[in-house]
A and B are shown apart, each in its own frame.
Chain A
Amino acid sequence: MNNVIEVKNLVKEYKELKAIDNLSFEVHEGEILGLLGPNGSGKSTTINCVLSLLKTSKGSIKIFGEEMKPDSYEIKRKIGVIFQDVAVFDELTVYQNIDYFCGLYIQDKVTRKKYVQDAIELVGLQDFVKFYPKKLSGGLLRRLNIACGIAHKPKLIFLDEPTVAVDPQSRNNILDGIKKLRNDGATIVYTTHYMEEVEILCDRVIILDKGKILAQGTTEEVKELAKIDEKVTVEVNNLDSSYIEKIKQNSNVDEVTYTDGVLLVKYKEGKNNLVDMVEFLKKENIKYNKINSEKPTLNDVFLELTGKELRD
């Protein structure tokens, strides 16, 4: 598998602060790599270093097999970036904005016109081409932002939290668009702190915290890092503590908590944990409202690795 990005021993220091600490990773051709981490974990700094927007303190960065420098215009030609903040001209219409940013890469008018049209269709802005950005809703603005970043049909796309503060309809539209880009052959680096998006979209995940990689692999591989295998939650009123002690006696159980009428049982292993729990409740004659079983999420992994939630 070809590596589109190769980062080796990357360090970025701001005086005393080490924003990135000896980071090494690869991005494979055609994959969607999720860069997960809470705010301040070093996701954006990593991207800015990879794109040569920031000078690195140490380490090497190769994109498409060549060293990335501020004047690597040939490499830049193949890259598209969608930043977290909307970056468009208020003075230009939707069409003019996409055409301008596409024009920074594509000089041929006929090709550009087609590319701009494709980008508009991809993000679903056909009905808004003559609108100025100030007339667009937050979700539509995000879509415009994406269209401006991908109109030139880049082979490598960086998406920095593109779905922050967007409505569900726009979010679905954006996620569908990203899948389509990958299907068209683009390699995507996707930073977010929405783990559900990562699970839907990403082939591989890198979990970052304090500028260091805590874990990397496919989502399944990363989830295996979690100590628990299954979580069972039961909505039950006034549960006596003696029952909790009884549940703890099960050798498969790792942890039991009961707060605000919700019983949470984390299992290390076991194939019939949900059935066992239902039978236990029946046997003890405990009345419950709802019972649910879940596999561990990336957030659980992150919680275990760092002791904090991804969105903290």
Chain B
Amino acid sequence: MTVFKTFLQVLKKNKFIVIMYTVILLIFGNFSMQSNQSSTNFEASKPTVFIVNEDKEEGITKDFIKYIKEKCDMAEIENSKEAIDDALFYEDLSLAVYIPQDFGKDFMEGKKPEITIKKRDSYYGSLAEMLLQRYIKVATIYQKNIKNEDELVAKINETISKDIETEVTTKIDTSALTKAARYYNFSSYSFLACLIYIISLIISTFNEEKVQKRTTISSYNYKKFNRILLLGNSLYAFVLWILYVVMSFVFVGPTMASINGLLFIANSFIFVICATTLAFFIANFVKNKDSINGIVNVIGLGSSFLCGAFIPQEWLPETVKIIGHVFPTYYFITGNETIAKLEKFNIDTLMPVIVNAGIVIAFSVVFVILTNLVTKKRRKV
């Protein structure tokens, strides 16, 4: 109780730093979620397309052009190779599509006329290409059985509009889940930074060489001493976690009460345990309180960058992802991304989440063992 009481007294003495650090990171977390959310919201903006049509604008060709105009913004540029290349280079254009002469006639005859495209190697270029291919795929499937052009156009529109309706329904959920995933992905940095900073601050106070020497020669069992400090740190971590969970309900909304939301919460709880043990381990090496900020940046910020806390993992280069595997944050974020995509919940769909959480727990166990080894060795001199 003596050690725990002193832990709280030291925490109280540093309360200004504790509150400031926690609140600032919480605010940053929510800012990050908002900015991430708008930057990954595909619905808000459309790719810009330029159509070079050499066919007659009638029948399926007319409908195809109409479809493109609905789905994409039209670029207002001169119809010349140089103008198109320039627009692509300066990112004014995502994709240029060339509809060849007799496209409609050849398509109805089942000749598979080739549409040429020229695109930027970018997200919008790929999105535009995907939209075009979807129309052509649907049209090709129906063309085999429907020989009447008007009927074919009607069937294509029916299918695509249904497709869109389904997609919109899914997007509403996905959007909230993506938002939640972003929030909890960023929280990995907040948890690491807060816990490493605060726990290092407190442990370095207890581990200050002269004070530690006095503790070492006392009759207080070092394992019990470590356990109590771990308990104190865990209490702080728990309070921090509760704060983040409450804020996730405020910022993400009712989706947090869904199974996906509860899985996010459970996953983050496991990560907080891991971050606490990691912070406790690191704190044992902190000799100078001035170095804590540097350690937070190197470990907290560094691992968060490498593991996809700030940008989605799929955007990270392969090498970075490979390096990221050595940090528990990677598995926490992979778990979040998986949870965000879960629609059905059974042992098969949940297995990747469980495996990732298991790896995070394994990291925690390793950190606890290492901490005990380090402190034991230090006591023996």
Is residue B32 within 8 Å, beta carbon to beta carbon, of the partner chain? no
A86, A87, A100, A149: the one contacting B6 at CB < 8 Å is A100
Indicate if the CB atoms of B219 and A89 lie closer than 8 Å: no
Which residues of B are found within 8 Å of A105, using beta-carbon distances? 218-220
Indicate if the CB atoms of A77 and B219 lie closer than 8 Å: yes
Minimal Cβ-Cβ distance residue in B for A77? B219
Is residue A55 within 8 Å, beta carbon to beta carbon, of the partner chain? yes
State whether A104 and B205 are in contact (beta carbons under 8 Å apart), knowing that A81-B214, A91-B13, A96-B9 are contacts in the complex. no
Of A22-30, A68-76, A223-231, the one contacting chain B is A68-76
B5, B10, B13, B217: the one contacting A53 at CB < 8 Å is B217
Indicate if the CB atoms of A91 and B10 lie closer than 8 Å: yes
Main secondary structure of the interface of B (DSSP, over half): helix
- Please tell me the number of chain B residues within 8 Å of chain A, measured between CB atoms: 25
- Size category, A interface: 20 to 34
Which residues of A are found within 8 Å of B215, using beta-carbon distances? 104
Considering the chains assembled together, what is the distance between the CA atoms of A103 and B211 in angstroms? 14
Indicate if the CB atoms of B211 and A89 lie closer than 8 Å: yes
Considering the chains assembled together, what is the distance between the CA atoms of A100 and B381 in angstroms? 24
Is residue B161 within 8 Å, beta carbon to beta carbon, of the partner chain? no
Indicate if the CB atoms of B214 and A83 lie closer than 8 Å: yes
Indicate if the CB atoms of B217 and A86 lie closer than 8 Å: no
B211, B220, B381: the one contacting A55 at CB < 8 Å is B381
Considering the chains assembled together, what is the distance between the CA atoms of A14 and B373 in angstroms? 23
Indicate if the CB atoms of A104 and B216 lie closer than 8 Å: no
A87, A91, A92: the one contacting B213 at CB < 8 Å is A87
Is residue B81 within 8 Å, beta carbon to beta carbon, of the partner chain? no
Indicate if the CB atoms of A91 and B210 lie closer than 8 Å: no
Is residue B380 within 8 Å, beta carbon to beta carbon, of the partner chain? yes
Q: How near does chain A come to B3, taking the closest CB pair, in angstroms?
A: 8
Is residue A88 within 8 Å, beta carbon to beta carbon, of the partner chain? yes
Indicate if the CB atoms of A103 and B381 lie closer than 8 Å: no
Considering the chains assembled together, what is the distance between the CA atoms of A89 and B10 in angstroms? 9
Give B contacts to A, CB under 8 Å.
Answer: 1-3, 5-6, 9-10, 13-14, 205, 208, 210-211, 213-221, 379-381
Would you mind naming 26 contact pairs between A and B with Cβ atoms under 8 Å apart? A53-B216, A53-B217, A70-B379, A70-B380, A73-B219, A74-B219, A76-B217, A76-B219, A77-B219, A79-B217, A81-B214, A87-B208, A91-B13, A91-B205, A92-B9, A96-B9, A100-B2, A100-B3, A101-B218, A104-B2, A104-B220, A105-B218, A105-B219, A107-B1, A107-B2, A148-B214
